[in-house]
Each structure stands twice: as C-alpha cells, then as structure tokens.
Amino acid sequence: MGTLMMLNVWGIIWPNQKIVIGLKEGDAAVAGPKAGLASRTNTLFSVGMLYFMVASAHYPASGQVLGANLEMTGTGLLVGLAIIFAIQA
C-alpha cells in the first residue's frame, strides 16, 4: 500500500499540483480535482496501511485472528483492499 501511495503522489498528485500552483502550464480547473481525488485515495490507503503496520506487530505469523485461520499477507490484504474499494465506490 505504501508503494501505491508513493506512485499516486509522484504520478498523479504532484504533476497536477504543479499545474495548479503555476509551475507548469495546463488547465488548473481540470488538474485540481484530479489531485484532490488522488489525495483522498491516499488518505484511504493510509488507514489500511496503518492497520497492517499495527497488525503485523501484534498478530502471530500464522494469522490467528478472531478464531479464524487467516493469513495476514494473503486474505488480510485482500479484505483490506476490498474495504478500500467499497469506500471509494
């Protein structure tokens, strides 16, 4: 998730912010909403990333979560991404 956030900043937010603040030529009315949407997406990613950072330190490697046998690297990641996509939708 951290890698996706970094790519989001360098690929979408920063180029569009350059247009908005006048460092690059372009349509600021189009670039502003694009940068805003990407920033909100990064905010949602940060919630999931914080969860996984905390969970990795406190859950055992076998992934015993609430009595279920869930692997944190596989199922947990998919559940986290599904929650983020549901919020975005």
Taking the model in full, what pTM does it have?
0.61
Place of tokens 């603040």: 21
50-82: per-residue pLDDT in tens? 888 887 776 665 555 555 555 555 676 777 778
Residue 31 contacts residue 20 (beta carbons within 8 Å): yes
Residue 48 contacts residue 84 (beta carbons within 8 Å): yes
Whole-number pLDDT of residue 84: 79
